[in-house]
A and B are shown apart, each in its own frame.
Chain A
Amino acid sequence: GQSLEQPSEVTAVEGAIVQINCTYQTSGFYGLSWYQQHDGGAPTFLSYNALDGLEETGRFSSFLSRSDSYGYLLLQELQMKDSASYFCAVSPNTGGFKTIFGAGTRLFVKA
């Protein structure tokens, strides 16, 4: 089976850097994705790591280490609008293309 673990809540101040970790147990997967979801809104795709290493997209970066079963999302120059829930997700390669999501990390950005 597959499971992902991430902290339930993180608080940071505007302008700071925050790292949201994700550890997973899965027999095999194509890659690790990150999604953002504001209250009452739809999840929106942020990034995807198929290979180990860092992927950078503007203020957001994502990292994957398959050997450590670990990944993280890095948010820089935090803004108030970054307050949201962040989900890591894996797409298992065990047949089918469903995506399995973690329970989410709620990020609070303070002034």
Chain B
Amino acid sequence: NAGVMQNPRHLVRRRGQEARLRCSPMKGHSHVYWYRQLPEEGLKFMVYLQKENIIDESGMPKERFSAEFPKEGPSILRIQQVVRGDSAAYFCASSPAGTENTEAFFGQGTRLTVV
């Protein structure tokens, strides 16, 4: 059973370009969470999704950021018109349905660098 898969592991984008980060949850998991981590800091919650639904996006910046989790395929975190401040590690986590999320399984993260 493969763990949470994120790709790419490293992504370099120029200011103004778009970044698309992918996350495939563990098999059987229907809950996906995205977190952002700046260097030397903790993980900041961004968004919580279930299949085809955004449940909680209270941590998402209002502009330029969007997330989806389609019926088929991975969850996508999309950042439009990236700026230097978007440089961070973006982690995806998944958990099974019907739990209180006692344990979240994290992917290896995507390290975004905006130049």
- A-side residues, CB < 8 A to B, are 30-31, 33, 41-45, 48, 50, 87, 91, 93, 95-104
Contacts and interface: CB of A to CB of B under 8 A. Distances in A.
Contact of A98 (B33, B102, B105): B33
> How large, as a class, is the contact surface on chain B?
20 to 34
B106 A43 contact: yes
Contacts of B43: 43, 87, 101
Contacts of B48: 96-98
Nearest to B100: A30
A97 B49 CA distance: 10
A48 B103 contact: yes
Contact of B102 (A31, A87, A101): A31
Looking at chain A's contact residues, the main secondary structure is loop
B115 interface: no
Given A30-B102, A42-B91, 17 more contacts: A30-B100, A31-B100, A42-B107, A42-B108, A45-B103, A45-B104, A48-B102, A48-B103, A91-B100, A91-B101, A96-B55, A97-B31, A97-B99, A98-B48, A98-B58, A100-B45, A104-B41
Contacts of A96: 48, 55-56
A42 B5 CA distance: 11
A102 B42 CA distance: 6
